[in-house]
């Protein structure tokens, strides 16, 4: 069996996230598996690096699948997939992967970006790709708060309740290592970039919501230590909307990391 690795870009606006769900819910995984069934004329399971929620975008999602087909080269598979996928999904790269490569379990780090439009006028053209925050943000305070989140921390306070996992959430290991949390401002755009060895459910959006609360004066940068220490989701900021979030990149190595 061949192991095929995909790098995928998608506009998440009209999807119920990555993971396959009940038939009436449109997902990225389902669309790719339908295209593969047309190409290989058999059901093919696609494994993603992780779930993205409804409305979340990706520039560098990674997935893999196994196939017995030896005839189609990676470039042929890429062309065939893009010919059979809807216009809001594009396969950027297809290549052969080692037999033990697993898009989820082989992942070492992931990078997400979150885009905020912080200006006097709401967006029209880019409204599906950014969160509009009309009140002026104190970006310097946001950066001070962000510095408290870097490193190896227990991020339980930034984990949203997942209906599918409620029975086991209290026992979940919520320690993650965040190697990057940058905030850059260009004109009215504020872009938050986060890299970590794994993310909890809605963790990035909850961190962004907390940073926006700091930037708006509702929280102080020093409050971040207290939020982390109490491990209480209610003390952190609101969950930022999905539309501003994008999975930028997935890095791979030998180590198996939690997702």
Domains and CATH numbers, the chain: 2-97 (3.30.70.580), 109-252 (3.30.70.660)
Assigned token pair, 118: 């912080």
- Whether 242 contacts 55, CB under 8 Å: yes
* Average pLDDT over the chain, rounded to an integer: 94
Say if residue 21's pLDDT is above 90.
no
Whether 100 sits among the annotated catalytic residues: the reply is no
Whole-number Å distance between alpha carbons of 55 and 111 = 17
Residues 146-196 pLDDT 10s: 999 999 999 999 999 876 655 455 668 999 999 999 999 999 999 999 999
Q: Find all residues with CB under 8 Å of 99, minimum gap 6, and list them.
A: 1, 3
- Whether 181 contacts 192, CB under 8 Å: yes
Q: Of the listed 53, 88, 154, 188, which one is catalytic?
A: 53
Of 59-63, 116-120, 159-163, 214-218, the one with minimum mean pLDDT is 159-163
Of 105-114, 210-219, 223-232, 245-254, the one with minimum mean pLDDT is 245-254
Counting Cα atoms < 13 Å in the Cβ hemisphere of 64 gives: 22
Of 99-103, 161-165, 235-239, the one with minimum mean pLDDT is 161-165
Work out the number of other CB atoms within 10 angstroms of the CB of residue 197.
19
Percentage of the chain lying above the pLDDT 70 cut: 94
């Amino acid at each position: 069996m061949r192991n095929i690795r995909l790098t995928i870009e998608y506009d998440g606006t009209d999807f119920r996230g990555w993971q396959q769900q009940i038939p009436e819910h449109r997902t990225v995984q389902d669309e790719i598996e339908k295209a593969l069934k047309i190409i290989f004329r058999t059901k093919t399971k696609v494994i993603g690096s992780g779930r993205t929620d409804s409305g979340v975008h990706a520039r560098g999602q990674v997935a893999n699948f196994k196939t017995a087909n030896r005839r189609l080269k990676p470039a042929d598979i890429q062309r065939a997939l893009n010919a059979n996928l809807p216009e809001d999904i594009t396969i950027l790269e297809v290549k052969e992967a080692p037999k033990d490569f697993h898009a989820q379990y082989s992942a070492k780090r992931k990078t997400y970006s979150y885009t905020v439009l912080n200006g006097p006028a709401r967006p029209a053209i880019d409204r599906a790709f950014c969160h509009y925050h009309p009140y002026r943000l104190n970006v310097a305070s946001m950066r001070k708060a962000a510095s408290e989140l870097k490193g190896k921390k227990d991020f339980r306070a930034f984990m949203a309740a997942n209906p599918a996992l409620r029975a086991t959430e209290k026992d979940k290991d919520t320690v993650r290592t965040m190697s990057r949390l940058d905030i850059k401002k260009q004109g009215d755009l504020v872009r938050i970039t986060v890299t970590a060895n794994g993310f909890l459910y809605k963790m990035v959006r909850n961190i962004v919501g907390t940073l926006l609360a700091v930037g708006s004066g509702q929280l102080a940068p020093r409050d971040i230590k207290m939020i982390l220490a109490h491990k209480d989701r209610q003390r952190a900021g609101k969950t930022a909307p999905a539309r501003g979030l994008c999975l930028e990149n997935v890095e791979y190595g030998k180590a198996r990391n939690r997702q």
